[in-house]
Amino acid sequence: MDNRKFILCRNCGALHHVTVFDKAPNYFVVAGAARENPADDWRVFMNRHAGHGLEALKALGELYFPAGSAADPMAVGYLKVTNGHREYLLRRSRRSVGEPLRFECIEARFGEPVVAVEIQERELRKELKLRFRWDSGQALSDAQIDLFIALWRDAAGQVDARGVTATEPSYVNHNISYAAPEAPTKDRLLKQCARHFTPGEMAALRRFVEAHSGGSDVMTLLLRRQVPIEERV
């Protein structure tokens, strides 16, 4: 069976998620021995709601997790579904790790996604503090690190998210992706840096920027996606 299908009871709002595990047996221990208890969740739901108005729903698109982590078993997720004529929004949650997932139909819809452009300040600060060195071998001072990060934040803040294409996904947060900064953005940063650093220091900073602008490295832009959950009016 397609695990992207649901059955909605229009009388009481109950939902059943149709999965390949509907007939998976339950196991319990008696006198130290495991016993199998046959189960048929789909049949139980159908019998419980016999005579009610039942509606088949099918998922559209992927689950959206506001907190970002799909791997978190306690993460709340939202899923758009349709009966073929109208779209609904389902909320996925559970009260404890030991309980099965619960789905409920809510009077809401996905709003227009919003993407914010950010810098990787924590990772960048760590890289500059622990590994970056001037050509003389001397490390940056805390004041120099703060200045460089402030200038980078200002340059990145002028980037229009609508014109940025993600080049690398995050493997821990499905709402985050990374994009290599384009040449005008890097030039804007270095032009501002030139007002505060010596020519020799600028040469080192240029090398640093170029060396760390790929993949999800510390000079790539962080794109954070948010999808508003809006009440249906």
* pLDDT tens-digit readout, 136-179: 899 999 999 999 999 999 999 999 999 999 999 998 899 999 99
102, 119: one domain: no
Instruction: Assess if residue 232 is contained within a domain.
Output: no
Structure tokens of 100? 């099965």
Among 50, 72, 106, the domain boundary falls at: 106
Same domain, 81 and 146: no
Per the CB < 8 A criterion, the answer to whether 191 and 152 are in contact is no
pLDDT at 33: 63
> 133 and 97, same structural domain?
no
Q: b/e map of 127-153 (b: 16 or more CB within 10 Å)?
A: bbeeebebeeeeebeeebbebbbebbe
Task: Give the span between the Cα atoms of 62 and 68, in whole angstroms.
Answer: 13
- Do both 157 and 93 map to the same domain? no
Which residues fall within 8 angstroms of residue 26, CB to CB, at 6 or more apart? 36, 37, 39
* 84 shares a domain with 137: no
**Of 106, 132, 157, which one is at a domain's C-terminal end?**
106
* Cα dist from 184 to 151, 189, 193, whole Å: 14, 9, 14
Q: Are 221 and 213 in contact (CB under 8 A)?
A: no
Instruction: Give the pLDDT score at 71.
Output: 79
* Same domain for 208 and 149: yes
Residue 142 inside a domain? The answer is yes
Residues 78 and 148 in one domain: no
The pLDDT averaged over each successive group of 10 residues in the chain (233 residues) is 78 88 63 64 86 93 84 91 92 88 91 96 96 92 97 97 94 94 97 97 97 97 95 78
Q: Would you give the DSSP letter of residue 137?
A: S
Indicate if 95 and 161 belong to the same structural domain: no
- Answer with the one of 106, 136, 165 that is the final residue of a domain: 106
Tell me, yes or no, whether 84 and 169 share the same domain: no
Say what the pTM is: 0.79
Same domain, 73 and 134: no
Closest CA to 174 of 94, 93, 73, 63: 63
Tell me, what DSSP letter sits at residue 10? T
Domain that includes residue 79, residue range: 5-106
Q: How many domains does the chain have?
A: 2
* Domain shared by 81 and 118, yes or no: no
Is 231 a member of any domain? no
209 Cβ contact list (under 8 Å, min separation 6): 186, 189, 190, 219
Nearest in space to 124 (alpha carbons), one of 222, 217, 223, 192: 217
Q: Residue 233 domain-assigned? A: no
